[in-house]
Amino acid sequence: MSVFNSGWFGTLIGIVGILVSIYFYRKDKIGARLDYQMAELKILDHNNLALGMTVNYFDKPITRLIKTQIVIWNSGQKTIDGNEIVIDDQLKFSFDSSEVLSCNIVLPSREINKCVVKKDEMYLNSFYFNFDFLDPKDGAVIEILHTGEEVYPKFSGSIKGMKDRIRNRGLTTYPIIQTTLKKARIINLLIWIISLIILSLFTIGVLYLVELISGNGIMDNKISLGIGISLGSFFVVNKFNIFKRKKAPKNLITINQ
């Protein structure tokens, strides 16, 4: 009997179809959504200064200097219009005690997004983030130089129609902007191929075991079926980012060389 005529195969296809339908239904319901991640590099600490040594930042004496990078992007399925930012609750990063010395956009996803940062004129411990629009996966990498013991700022603000949809995706490694060399891309491809081979061999072994236990001989083409299931599983895992921690889009944080 062909495996395609088996009852379990039809049930499996039905379950997969239901799961895929649920995924695309939920994905379609996701509107605009703003995510961000942060990383830091401690440049100067007063404990490392020799007795009598002073350090100035543009004639301003400092005893501690931290560089914090923030990647912020639209992780949803709809465009965020900059005009939808609530005027009385603008997008703002702020520290409790650290003073912001400088803040800059070091890598926008696209210049046309017109992402900008601006220091708060009234409070030296905060700055604003603004943009013209952000399509899905659009965003920017922000770099801050600041003093004080605080490493990461707090993020606040409201966007119309996005209640509870500004999410902190936690910390990431510094620097956020990575340089991907051609050699590294080749190594990643080899890892992907080896992983696929291992998964295929494992799947074929499981199919042999199932046939051995059932004794029905229903899986005559185990090798083709095993490779097919492995390819499908690999596609689903990579396409839908299953088992992966949510990260910023690669085109936003990666420079290819």
Show which of 146, 175, 204 is a domain's final residue: 175
- Domain of 14, in residue numbers: 1-30
Q: Are residues 75 and 164 in the same domain?
A: yes
Whether the model pTM is above 0.75: no
**245 within domain boundaries:** yes
Instruction: Check whether residue 79 and residue 147 sit in a common domain.
Output: yes
194 in the same domain as 170: no
Distance (Å, whole) CA 184 – CA 97: 41
On whether both 18 and 41 belong to a single domain, the answer is no
Q: Is residue 53 part of a domain?
A: no
Each residue's pLDDT expressed in tens, for the chain with a length of 257 residues: 455 455 555 555 556 666 665 655 555 556 788 999 999 999 988 777 777 788 888 888 898 999 999 999 998 889 999 999 999 999 999 999 899 999 999 999 999 999 999 999 888 999 999 999 999 999 999 999 999 888 999 999 999 988 767 899 988 888 887 654 555 567 667 777 777 777 767 776 666 666 666 666 555 555 555 555 655 565 555 555 544 446 677 767 766 54
Q: Does a structural domain hold residue 113?
A: yes
> Rounded CA gap, 156 and 22, in Å?
32
Looking at the fold, whether 102 and 198 belong to one and the same domain comes out as no
CATH code: domain of residue 154? 2.60.40
Would 57 be classed as within a structural domain? Answer: no
